[in-house]
Amino acid sequence: MSVDAVAGPLGADSEVGVLRTVMLHRPGDELRRLTPRNNDQLLFDGLPWVDRAQDEHDAFADLLRGRGVTVLLLGELLTEAMTVSGAARMQGISAAVDARRLGRSLAEDLAQHLRGVPAAELAQILMAGMTFDELLEAETGDPQPSGASLVRRMHHGGDFVIDPLPNLLFTRDSSFWIDDRVAITSLALPARVRETSLTDLIYAFHPMFRGVRRAYESRTAPVEGGDVLLLAPGVVAVGVGERTTPAGAEALARSLFEDDLAHSVLVVPIAQERASMHLDTVCTMVDTDAVVMYPAIQDTLSAFTIHREDAGVTIRGGDPFLEAAADAMGIGKLRLIDTGLDHVTAEREQWDDGNNTLAIAPGVVVAYERNVETNARLEASGIEVLRISGSELGSGRGGPRCMSCPVSRERL
Ligand SMILES: NC(=[NH2+])NCCC[C@H](N)C(=O)O
């Protein structure tokens, strides 16, 4: 992949500017690790049929390419970064070898083994993880493992020495762009924490991203990309619930103000539950001045607005979200596309990510085909809906927005 593979200047200042380049992750062997015993912990609601999930994902990527979007794949970027940079390899290995869990002896054996593995294979291991048995089998060419690891003896061969990362599929959460900078997030749950070591490595070492500056560098508290909506240039909404914490939202706001990336941050409380794990599961932008939203929260969604002032910040609390947003965006009204659904249909389609649309231009969105009613209402309001199937992809509870990280959008 060459440096000029990115179409358009890096970065984005909105949710809806014409999409030029996007980072996706084609689901791979990390999904084959899911079992009925570990799927809850790994944040999947079922066991996807992996081949079909890959087909669905390929169709998603092809649809985007057909609309002129350059698609970057996380797995390829990871391999390329570790091919050109030894430091990238070291960083990936050190994030994957958890000495606290493995003990010193096994940690040393594992790190030694990984240092000898070629970049493409190492990328696979970092994404799909590794079991005790796989390590033992792979070590045959290495100098003999020390044999002094109690941890090795006491673990089952099918246990993981490196945990798999099935949620890499949701590239939205582990990094996001704002203006011409990239923010590596800080993921809240143990199953996902290591994902950011991979996005960090890609943006630090892949030649395509040389010289790119960072936002939210302190990463002091949890912020996940699914909670961050670029409502308009300078105006950012941040959901606070199961993932992003109040401290995360506060730290992000402060950092965006300091870097002059925003003047207003709307902090939006959402229910702390699985169905609404991120703000983008209940609300996404479909046009420069329009959102689609889960009907059950339309009347109650509110926001604290943090404004940057000359002398510091002001915080206004408890305003209805749509009004606070329109105010900060400097528009008369933020249109709500009312899906008008009865509460059972609305609840079912929210669960299946009907509100999780990816805009590829103002008024043009990608959505799961299964959310028939939501899509019909979007179209009735003049939004063009490009449908993809997600019967298998959806088992991780994420739709087109969750599965995409816009790397370049035309500025509004
Ligand atoms: N931006 C999003 N809504 N991402 C969806 C993430 C789903 C993933 N299984 C998780 O629980 O973390």
User: Can you tell me which atom of ligand 1 is nearest the CA of 353?
Assistant: 3
User: Can you tell me which atom of ligand 1 is nearest the CA of 189?
Assistant: 12
The answer for 145, left when phi > 0, alpha when psi is -120 to 50, beta otherwise, is beta
CA angle 194, 197, 201 (to 5 degrees): 160
d(CA 75, CA 126): 10
190 lies in some domain:
yes
- pLDDT of 113 > 60? The answer is yes
User: Ligand 1, atom 11: nearest CA belongs to which residue?
Assistant: 43
For 278-295, write each residue's pLDDT tens digit. 999 999 999 999 999 999
- pLDDT of 236 > 70? The answer is yes
Return the amino acid letter for 360: I
- pLDDT of 145 > 80? The answer is no
The helix (H) or strand (E) run that includes residue 267 is strand 264-269
| Structure token digits, residue 258 | 């300091």
Return the amino acid letter for 4: D
146 and 180 within one domain: no
Task: Calculate how far, in angstroms, residue 165's C-alpha sits from the geometric centre of ligand 1.
Answer: 12
234 lies in some domain:
yes
Task: Calculate how far, in angstroms, residue 283's C-alpha sits from the geometric centre of ligand 1.
Answer: 14
83 and 67 within one domain: no
402 an active-site residue?
A: yes
- pLDDT of 4 > 60? The answer is no
- The catalytic position among 208, 393, 402, 403 is 402
| Structure token digits, residue 377 | 């209402």
Confidence (pTM): 0.96
174 and 156 within one domain: no
134 and 182 within one domain: no
Cβ count within 10 A of residue 66 = 9
The preferred substitution site among 167, 187, 238 for testing ligand 1, maximizing ligand atoms within 8 Å of CB, is 167
**Contact between residue 393 and residue 59 where contact means Cβ atoms under 8 Å apart:** no
For 341-381, write each residue's pLDDT tens digit. 899 999 999 999 999 999 999 999 999 999 999 999 999 99
Total domain count, the chain = 2
Q: How far from chain centre, in Å, is Cα 347? A: 23
55 and 21 within one domain: yes
281 and 232 within one domain: yes
340 and 240 within one domain: yes
156 lies in some domain:
yes
Pairing of strands 335-337, 290-293: parallel
| Maximum alpha-carbon separation in the chain | 70
Q: Which of 129, 162, 195 is the last residue of a domain?
A: 162
| Structure token digits, residue 75 | 């797995």
Mean pLDDT within 399-406: 98
Q: Tokens 């500056």 correspond to what residue?
A: 213
User: Can you tell me which atom of ligand 1 is nearest the CA of 278?
Assistant: 3
| Structure token digits, residue 11 | 């970065």
The CATH number given to whatever domain includes residue 193 is: 3.75.10.10
d(CA 226, CA 239): 8
253 and 203 within one domain: yes
pLDDT class for 1, splitting at 50, 70, 90? low
**Taking the alpha carbons of 307, 218, 358, 3 in that order, is the dihedral positive or negative?**
positive
Mean predicted lDDT score pLDDT of the chain: 95
- pLDDT of 192 > 90? The answer is yes
190 and 150 within one domain: no
**Contact between residue 408 and residue 18 where contact means Cβ atoms under 8 Å apart:** no
pLDDT class for 8, splitting at 50, 70, 90? confident
Cβ count within 10 A of residue 137 = 10
CA distance readout (Å), 229 to 7, 176, 179: 22, 10, 13
Pairing of strands 405-409, 384-388: unpaired
Q: Which of 108, 137, 162 is the last residue of a domain?
A: 162
User: Ligand 1, atom 6: nearest CA belongs to which residue?
Assistant: 398
Task: Calculate how far, in angstroms, residue 190's C-alpha sits from the geometric centre of ligand 1.
Answer: 13
**What DSSP designation does 229 have?**
E
232 lies in some domain:
yes
Q: Tokens 């996001």 correspond to what residue?
A: 176
128 and 39 within one domain: no
388 and 288 within one domain: yes
Strand ordering across the sheet containing 384-388: 358-361, 364-368, 384-388
The preferred substitution site among 397, 401, 403, 405 for testing ligand 1, maximizing ligand atoms within 8 Å of CB, is 397
User: Ligand 1, atom 4: nearest CA belongs to which residue?
Assistant: 402
CA distance readout (Å), 377 to 300, 358, 371, 374, 408: 21, 16, 10, 5, 29
Please give the residue range of the domain that contains residue 84: 77-162
375 and 254 within one domain: yes
Write out residues with Cβ below 6 Å of ligand 1. Answer: 43, 167, 170, 172-173, 192, 226, 277-278, 280-281, 396-398, 402
Task: Calculate how far, in angstroms, residue 277's C-alpha sits from the geometric centre of ligand 1.
Answer: 7
Task: Calculate how far, in angstroms, residue 332's C-alpha sits from the geometric centre of ligand 1.
Answer: 32
Task: Calculate how far, in angstroms, residue 272's C-alpha sits from the geometric centre of ligand 1.
Answer: 13
d(CA 127, CA 133): 17
| Structure token digits, residue 378 | 């979007």
321 lies in some domain:
no
User: Ligand 1, atom 1: nearest CA belongs to which residue?
Assistant: 226
User: Ligand 1, atom 5: nearest CA belongs to which residue?
Assistant: 398
323 lies in some domain:
no
pLDDT class for 2, splitting at 50, 70, 90? very low
What are 315's strand-pairing partners? 306
Task: Calculate how far, in angstroms, residue 199's C-alpha sits from the geometric centre of ligand 1.
Answer: 16
d(CA 219, CA 111): 26
CA angle 43, 44, 46 (to 5 degrees): 155
304 lies in some domain:
no
328 lies in some domain:
no
- The closest alpha carbon to 165, from 10, 28, 294, 359, belongs to 28
The preferred substitution site among 278, 279, 281, 285 for testing ligand 1, maximizing ligand atoms within 8 Å of CB, is 278
Q: Which of 162, 186, 206 is the last residue of a domain?
A: 162
Cβ count within 10 A of residue 328 = 26
**What DSSP designation does 212 have?**
P
User: Can you tell me which atom of ligand 1 is nearest the CA of 227?
Assistant: 1
Q: What is the pLDDT of residue 220?
A: 86
User: Ligand 1, atom 10: nearest CA belongs to which residue?
Assistant: 43
pLDDT class for 37, splitting at 50, 70, 90? very high
**Contact between residue 70 and residue 19 where contact means Cβ atoms under 8 Å apart:** no
